[in-house]
Amino acid sequence: MKTIQEVFRDWEAVIGLEVHTELTTLKTKMFCDCPIDFGAPPNTHTCPVCLGLPGALPVPNRAAIESIVLAGLATNCDIEKRSMFYRKTYMYPDMPKNFQTTQGPIAFCMRGGLDLTVSGQGSDERIDVEHAEDGSYTTHIGITRIHMEEDAGKMIHVGGTDGRIAGASYSLVDYNRAGTPLIELVTEPDLRTPEEARRFMQKLRQIFLAIGISDCSMEEGSMRCDGNISLRRRGSTGFGTKTELKNMNSFKALHDGLAYEICRQAEVLEQGGVIYQETRHFEPATKRTIVMRTKETAEDYRLFPEPDLAPYDLSDEFIERVRAKLPELPDAKSARYQDEFGLAAADAETLAGDPAWARFFEDAAAGSGHAVRIANLMINELAGQLKGGDIATCKVAPASLAELADLVDGDAISGKQAKEVLAEMLETGDGPAAIVERRGMKQVSDAGELEAIVEQLIADNPDKVEAYRNGKKGLTGFFVGQAMKATKGQGNPKVISQIVTRYLEG
């Protein structure tokens, strides 16, 4: 099979995403007042409505409608003041009603879009647009709609392999999740590379986290994504037949699945074959996609208006009340961090993209004067040391991290020492000053003391001094390293390096 770079010389990929997000931050289900609580024992949060018992009547959850309108406003959609619910026929034991309540041609949110800036890794996959000097480019991704629907229950197949239904001796079903509010966002076929798809999904996740409508966990399935993909010859404008990749549950799977599918389609087409409109499943282990089923059509679903729910009208007042709740979104936050605190774009984006990290950063940076160092410590040290732990509940307080940044910027301790101090802060919850004191950690910046050490090293290593003077400039590193060792890592590397260079050149 060709590589994606080879394929992209002749072919252009057309990609559209369908993203499902469970509104996990709500208290109750979409059409009944059963609590949303995924940890509860099976079938303890059910009622006649979410079990689809005869005569039960649904009532839409107002908070869920607020969430979808918030999502629409955050992604520049028009909010439809009148929309309706529909029944989508669907026979499977995880949906006791035998239909899913969803929306029809008009959804709560229509015609939105996001600007997507792609920089760094993968930006070279896109060859038909102008790139800035740093290799980045910006492209607009249209959002067709965001509609409201409900989740199904969960099936557990017992006795087979890997929890699959094939080979199982029986199946269990848990309806706790049945009826959980779900929003589905559908993009226009505007994405052109697997990297754009990944970045779009990341950006969407950051926005949904910022507006607080979901925990957006890809691993746990509260945010999941289907990718639609087709190829066309470069220069042509029509659309080819698409395949749909189901349920890619990580950013990497989304990227790799699309990349594989692009190469597979190119091979089929170049050998004179045809692409069938079908649903495929990506297997991360083998990095292949396999056929799940051929495409259902709208007729298969027999979509029709839900007779038990009146058309839903949204007042201007309701929409404006939701708009007032829009927080500062990640793009605006990132721009502000660059302006206000002088952060580099990449660091600003990283911190602004996660509400808990953004809050921590702002609390630490407020009035500190060492915001750049704080950002640096958070991204390069704290993130790694937390090992995926929650920054909001870790033992390091924002004010303590600001203190640590002061110590580093004031040359009181070295960067290497800061790493150790941070580890101890995380473990004990003590402030950095106490730890530095306790460990007798002072960075030695005293030129006289350091000079004596360097002088001794120069005297002890005449051969290396000679070699340096004959052009082996890399030997500076040897002397700096030895001097650091002699100070037990407490020497100020900047000062040592200056002294070493002076002696070697002298």
Which of 21/230 has CB closer to ligand ADP? 230
Is 49 or 107 the residue whose CB approaches Zn ion more closely? 49
Question: Which residue's CB is nearer to ligand ADP, number 49 or number 248?
Answer: 248
Cα separation of 255 and 468, whole Å?
49
Q: Does residue number 17 form part of the binding site for ligand ADP (CB under 6 A)? A: yes
Selection from Zn ion, ligand ADP, none that 7 binds (CB < 5 to 8 A by kind) is none
Does 32 participate in binding Zn ion (rule CB under 5 A)?
yes
Q: What is the DSSP string of 21-67?
A: EE-TTSSB-SSS--B--TTSPTTSS--TTTTT-TT------HHHHHH
Q: Does 239 participate in binding ligand ADP (rule CB under 6 A)? A: yes
Contact predicate 218/29, CB 8 Å: no
In the chain, count H helices and then E strands: 18, 16
How far apart (Å, rounded) are the C-alpha atoms in residues 261 and 288?
A: 8
- Picked from Zn ion, ligand ADP, none, the partner binding residue 34 (CB below 5 to 8 A depending on kind) is Zn ion
Contact between 276 and ligand ADP by CB under 6 A: the answer reads no
Stretch that binds ligand ADP, among 131-139, 186-194, 473-481, 492-500 (CB under 6 A): 186-194
402 DSSP β-pair partners: none
By CB under 5 A, which span of 28-36, 140-148, 202-210, 286-294 interacts with Zn ion? Answer: 28-36
> Which stretch in 24-32, 109-117, 126-134, 434-442 sits in contact with Zn ion by CB under 5 A?
24-32
Per-residue DSSP letters for 221-258?
TSEEEEEEEEEEETT--S----EEEEEE-SHHHHHHHH
Size of the residue set binding ligand ADP (CB under 6 A) = 15
Residue nearer to ligand ADP on the CB measure, 4 or 358:
4
Least distance in angstroms from the C-beta of 150 to ligand ADP? 19
Structure tokens at 191: 């994405």
Out of ligand ADP, Zn ion, none, what residue 447 binds, judged by CB under 5 to 8 A for its kind, is none
Q: Which of 4, 7, 16, 176 binds ligand ADP (CB under 6 A)?
A: 16
Radius of gyration of the chain (CA): 29
Closest separation in Å from C-beta 170 to Zn ion: 25
Q: How far apart are CA 235 and CA 273, in angstroms?
A: 21
Among the listed residues 218, 239, 236, 214, the one whose alpha carbon sits nearest the alpha carbon of residue 228: 239
Letter string b/e over residues 268-303, b meaning 16 or more CB atoms within 10 A of that residue's CB: ebeeeeebeeebbbbeeeeeebeeeeeeeeeeebeb
Q: Between residue 332 and residue 351, which ones bind ligand ADP under the rule CB under 6 A?
A: none
Q: Specify the stretch interacting with Zn ion by CB under 5 A; choose among 40-48, 101-109, 257-265, 492-500.
A: 40-48
Select the residue interacting with Zn ion from 7, 17, 26, 50 (CB under 5 A): 50
Residues 303-322 that bind ligand ADP (CB under 6 A): none
Q: Is 47 in the site for Zn ion (CB under 5 A)?
A: yes
Alpha helices in 75-215 (DSSP H): 194-211
Q: Are 160 and 181 in contact (CB under 8 A)?
A: no
Choose which of 30, 34, 64, 114 interacts with Zn ion (CB under 5 A). Answer: 34
Q: Does 228 sit near ligand ADP (CB under 6 A)?
A: yes
Q: Which CB sits closer to ligand ADP, 72 or 240?
A: 240
Site string for ligand ADP, 124-163 (x = CB under 6 A): ----------------------------------------
Q: Does 278 bind ligand ADP (CB under 6 A)?
A: no
**Cβ-based nearer residue to Zn ion, 36 or 253:** 36
Nearest distance, CB of residue 154 and ligand ADP, angstroms: 24
Q: For residue 44, what are the contacts with CB-CB under 8 A and spacing of at least 6?
A: 176
CA distance 304 to 87: 5
> Applying CB under 6 A, which of residues 181, 189, 257, 398 lies at the interface with ligand ADP?
189
Query: Which of 326, 369, 330, 372 has its CA nearest to residue 350?
Result: 330
DSSP track, 53-109? -TT------HHHHHHHHHHHHHTTPEEPSEE-EEEEE--STT-TTSEEEEE-SS-SE
Cβ atoms of residues 73 and 326 within 8 Å: yes
From ligand ADP, Zn ion, none, which one binds at residue 30 (CB under 5 to 8 Å depending on kind)? Answer: none
What residues make contact with Zn ion under the rule CB under 5 A?
32, 34, 47, 49-50
What residues make contact with ligand ADP under the rule CB under 6 A?
14-18, 186-189, 228-230, 239-240, 242
